[in-house]
Amino acid sequence: MTLTIPLWFEVGSLVVLSLVLILDLLRVMWKPHVPSTKESALWVSFYVTLALVFAGAMFVFSGEKYGSEFLAGWVTEYSLSVDNLFVFVLIMASFAVPKRFQQEVLMVGILLAIVFRGIFILLGAALIASFSWIFYVFGAFLLVVAIQQLFSGREDDVERENAIIRFLRSRIDMTNTYDGMKLRVLEDGKKKWTPILIVFIAIGSADVVFAVDSIPAIYGITESPFIVFTANVFALMGLRQLYFLLGDLIDKLRYLHFGIAFILGFIGVKLVFHALHENELPFINGGQHVEWVPVIGTWTSLGVIITAMAIAVVASLWELRRNRSSVEATEAQNTRQ
């Protein structure tokens, strides 16, 4: 028997998640520092465990359907958040954000991401409730994004943002140095903006792009706004610690974008299949449902997503190790000569 998600569970979950985020924010503000690898690994493990505990609670209180949908949705959003992390790395490097300020900047970026995704989740839910054909649009959009991811990658997003940043720099008075998280400082008797403003704008615009990409993707897994939102929050929590845990490695995962492109393309196809099953458009199959299209279940989706990311990461690490061995062999040969 399929259960529903109890109201008390939804309200309680949102309250607990809000408290966790507030405590995390206060911790960062109270003790800003560059976390060690061990500290980052412990916090990433904590947030992953928290998500798995929540998934278990979903299975117990809401049944297998919603539990599996949350699990698949969380894994999907976590995979896409790694792509988000790659852009954060590029932004931090582009604007030379000092290491000691990066934790606070990332926290602001994650909070902005939650806000933007919350807005797009509500918009997505409203569109789904009003227009059954919107899944065709979502599916086609994800297929286009998958192709873009395959051939261009996220460096193009950063380039577009840098054009906006250059425009802003030419229009406003700005200092050349950071002063903690202060947006404005007094310099030469004149109030000026600090570069942190530009960093926030860059991260905020990146968050909007990723919200537009990721929300249609998870609606290919579930139509429950509660599951969509909680899966996104759990995926984003711990992203800051993951940034410090992976460090420069994230930039070296050469095949990661292929895995993410495959996932987006797979979910895009799944959305189109779902739209065909629910079809009411008169110019497709005479307005009748297309029954012969295969149904892709939630567990199948979860297996495909995990496999795609695992292959992409393992292939990237193998390539990185092979290149490192090649460099070491070349250096050893040069030394002997």
Q: Whole-prediction pTM value?
A: 0.81
Q: What angle do CA 301, 306, 308 make, to 5 degrees?
A: 95
Rounded to an integer, what distance in angstroms lies between the CA atom of residue 203 and that of residue 85?
10
Instruction: Give yes or no for residue 313 having a pLDDT over 80.
Output: yes
Helix (H) or strand (E) holding 97: none
Q: pLDDT, tens digit, for every residue of 218-243? A: 888 998 999 999 999 998 887 888 88
Indicate the SS3 state at residue 191: strand
Mean pLDDT value of segment 281-286 = 82
Rounded to an integer, what distance in angstroms lies between the CA atom of residue 108 and that of residue 113?
9
CB-based contact 20:88 (threshold 8 Å)? no
- Category of 32 on φ-ψ map: left (φ > 0), alpha (ψ -120 to 50) or beta: beta
CB-based contact 184:231 (threshold 8 Å)? no
> Which one-letter DSSP state was computed for residue 177?
S
Q: pLDDT, tens digit, for every residue of 151-205? A: 765 555 555 555 666 666 677 777 778 887 788 888 777 888 888 888 888 888 7
CB-based contact 86:256 (threshold 8 Å)? yes
As given in the structure block, the two tokens for residue 105 are: 């900047």
Among 49, 52, 61, smallest CA distance to 9 is for: 61
Q: With b meaning 16 or more CB within 10 Å and e meaning fewer, what string describes 304-326?
A: bbeebbeebbebbeeeeeeeeee
Query: pLDDT value at position 192?
Result: 83
As given in the structure block, the two tokens for residue 47 are: 């947030």
Rounded to an integer, what distance in angstroms lies between the CA atom of residue 39 and that of residue 275?
45
Helix (H) or strand (E) holding 192: strand 190-193
Query: pLDDT value at position 214?
Result: 82
